[in-house]
Amino acid sequence: MFKKKKIREDFDAIFKSGDENAIKQMLDEHPWLLEEVSQEMDDVMEEQKDVIAALGVMEDELGGLVPVDEIVFSLRVDFNIQKDEAEVQEILSSIENLGLVKRESHGWVLTTEGGRVCDEYLNKNLEEIKL
């Protein structure tokens, strides 16, 4: 177990450095790393989709710009997800870089692509979500 922990730490350092050849070599030597990295990325994308969906729900409800506290509220009430404003702000910033949301002076809005992602997510998960 200790060996895997050391390998993970080494891989994280290499991954952060951006050295594609070293990353490929580590993945070739330790194929189990790819599964772990894929799972972590899936978890991050799921978190992002939760925030996009909450933003979409509140944008429809408020009819426009959505403050971060309203997104936190929707996550808690509509999706049963507990996140604080700092976490949501960080996620919003990362998905803004992907072009899915846009920051305005007094809140956040979905872009056209963000709206599509929101609709897909809500339609896929509508049975589980009680709005």
> What would the 3-class secondary structure string for the chain be?
CHHHHHHHHHHHHHHHHCCHHHHHHHHHHCCHHHHHHHHHHHHHHHHHHHHHHHHHHHHHHHCCCECHHHHHHHHHHHHCCCCCHHHHHHHHHHHHHCCCEEEECCEEEECHHHHHHHHHHHHHHCCCCCC
CATH of 44-125, one of 1.20.210.10, 1.10.10.10, 3.40.50.1580, 1.10.275.10: 1.10.10.10
pTM as predicted = 0.73
**What is the residue-level pLDDT of the chain in tens, covering all 131 positions?**
568 888 888 888 888 787 888 888 988 898 888 887 777 777 788 899 999 999 999 999 999 999 999 999 999 999 999 999 999 999 999 899 889 999 998 899 999 999 999 999 998 887 655 54
